[in-house]
Structure 1
Amino acid sequence: MSVRNRVPVLLTRAGTASALTLAAVGGTLTLPGGATEAQAATAGVHAKALKIAASKKGSPYGWGAAGPHRFDCSGLTLYSFKKAGKSLPRTAQAQYNKTRHISAGHRSKGDLVFFRSGGSVYHVGIYAGANKVWHAPKTGDVVKLERIWTRSVSYGRVR
């Protein structure tokens, strides 16, 4: 049953004038804990970017490469989000600067994982869940899924 079909039941239980007014004027009822349309759209972009990154498994690392067959770390994130409909700057540090920073406790699949040394970002990947990241590690390696190997990370959400 859709939220729209449950509105009469919810209104009966709520019995509040504001909810009735909202229903009478054809407004949208936002339920506590429910995602807004914008949040749902952003989650869809993140899921798509994650799927695109995963589809590049085994692609060789290439310094300065941004796909479609070779990638460096920020090239993989740039390519994945571009294909999902969002633009990112070219470097890991610039991507960090552009994202909304979030705590590890609020990270979600498709968020960016920024690897840090001191005050600088030196590497980026896409969070895959279960403390794993899709990334293009280094020269001689390939795009792969790997456990996050350090606690010196920050997370960012592409808007």
Structure 2
Amino acid sequence: QQGLPAHTSQQLLKQLQPLVKGKTEEQAVNLLLRFVQTAFAYQTDGQQFNTENYLLPIETLHYPYSDCEDRASLFSWLVESLLGLDAVLLDYPGHIAAAVEFTKAPKGDRLTFNNKRYTITDPTYINASVGMTMPQFKKVQPKVVNF
């Protein structure tokens, strides 16, 4: 369950499932993106903990702040759990985003990993939709990390 106790994950998924039901993959992923982008206040680990600290999804729900890798992990878990789509993490210099393998790839920025096409999804890039990469990372090739 990627760091979420069974009861917590069941309750969270139970609340979100009706919101994504009946939507296209792109609509559902955009809804989950917007949720993670806006539901949590942002602070770097240095600001919150005075050191780098990778939060598990349960900790992201608990602590008052989260940063890019915390949001990317929670978002990827939600996409895989609610939609059954494969998600990976994208490691840019100083930033972590995510990417999703859609059944039919939507328009936008993509990359190929292990012969699969993933579309960029960034849960820290506020109001960015599926396929949008932060401008400063448009020409940067990230390291892809299996979630």
Normalised TM-score (structure 2): 0.37
Normalised TM-score (structure 1): 0.35
